[in-house]
Amino acid sequence: MKILVVLPTYNEAENIEKIISLIRKRSVDILIIDDNSNDGTSEIIKKYLTKDDKINLIQRPAKLGLGTAYVTGFKWALQRDYQYVFEMDADLSHDPSDIPRFIGKCEEGYDLVIGSRYTHGTISVVGWDFRRLLLSKFANKYATTILGLSFLTDVTSGYRCYRRTVLESIELDKIKSNGYAFQIEMVYKAFKKGFRISEIPIIFYERNSGSSKMDKKIVREAALMVWRLRFGG
Ligand SMILES: Nc1nc2c(ncn2[C@@H]2O[C@H](COP(=O)(O)OP(=O)(O)OP(=O)(O)O)[C@@H](O)[C@H]2O)c(=O)[nH]1
Ligand SMILES: [Mg+2]
């Protein structure tokens, strides 16, 4: 079974070695999409490229956003024979030892499995203040209610596993959003196409090192995008 983790990076020099080694322990391939990080991230990655042919790198000329990074990675995966494609953050917020549980859930017959921080009414986030938690919980409630996805608890989660057929069916060039909105848009499109979607519980650890790329613009984009998706704009 061929599995790929797409790992977008922007200034993750402090985290990249650790995350690469944790993922490779799981014997899955990695594709890193680095957006011209200026902290030496790509130089570190290049050391691995010569040693391990399961690690791949696409370098883009500038910070072009998370959404287009994933679309680039998905297309790369589809040109090859990967059956499952993961999204994962490079800042150690997502634990690669969860990978087998995602695959197990897919094997039960699900096409998209989301790693949720909020299953069964619990909150498994380490390191967020109350404001950030509230924003995330509210964003999820808002999006799932408007889009008819109330059977899901975490549609903004960036830790997930797609069966190949999902990525083949979604018109990746038509994806409009980039930040959190990208995660919501992908689940909604998979749902609209009739794919089976499920969640597994994960623990999310807020980054210890490096800097956040979250900002108000990303939140605004998500709030508006939900309505565009709902009314097909
Ligand atoms: N290639 C690429 N990667 C990005 C871009 N923006 C963010 N990333 C990466 O996407 C992942 C998630 O970004 P984060 O900055 O952690 O965003 P977040 O998780 O919403 O916010 P934090 O609270 O800071 O963790 C990380 O691996 C980033 O390095 C981008 O424009 N291009
Ligand atoms: Mg993060």
Q: Provide the residue type at 232 as one letter.
A: G
Q: How far apart are CA 16 and CA 218, in angstroms?
A: 24
115 lines ligand 1 (CB under 6 A): no
pLDDT level of residue 10 (50, 70, 90 thresholds)? very high
For range 208-231, the mean pLDDT: 83
Please report, for residues 164, 168, 169, the alpha-carbon distance to residue 195 in angstroms, rounded to integers and kept in the order given. Answer: 11, 12, 10
Q: What is the pLDDT of residue 214?
A: 67
For range 43-55, the mean pLDDT: 97
* pLDDT 10s digits, 199-213: 999 999 999 887 766
- Ligand closest to Cα of 64 equals 1
Please report, for residues 93, 130, 157, 180, 214, the alpha-carbon distance to residue 88 in angstroms, rounded to integers and kept in the order given. Answer: 9, 24, 9, 13, 16
Residue of 71, 213, 214, 218 with the most ligand 1 atoms within 8 Å of its CB, for mutation: 213
Residue 220 clears pLDDT 90, i.e. is over it: no
Q: How far apart are CA 42 and CA 13, in angstroms?
A: 8
For range 21-42, the mean pLDDT: 97
* pLDDT 10s digits, 133-151: 998 999 999 999 999 999 9
Give percent of the chain with pLDDT exceeding 70.
Answer: 98
- Ligand closest to Cα of 12 equals 1
Q: What is the pLDDT of residue 144?
A: 97
Domains in the chain: boundaries: 3-230
- Give the number of other CB atoms < 10 A from CB of residue 89: 19
Least confident of 163-167, 213-217, 229-233: 213-217
For range 37-52, the mean pLDDT: 96
Q: Ligand 2: distance of its center to the CA of 90 in Å?
A: 8
Q: What is the pLDDT of residue 35?
A: 97
pLDDT level of residue 233 (50, 70, 90 thresholds)? low
Least confident of 7-16, 61-70, 108-117, 209-218: 209-218
Q: Ligand 1: distance of its center to the CA of 131 in Å?
A: 19
Distance of CA 13 to the CA centre of its chain: 19
Joined tokens for residue 49: 């490229």
Q: What is the average pLDDT value for the chain, to the nearest integer?
A: 95
143-147 long-range Cβ contacts below 8 angstroms, 24+ apart: 143/184, 143/222, 143/226, 146/226, 146/227, 146/230, 147/184, 147/188, 147/191, 147/226, 147/229, 147/230
* Ligand 1 atom at shortest distance from the alpha carbon of 211: 24
Domain 3-230 has CATH 3.40.50.1820: no
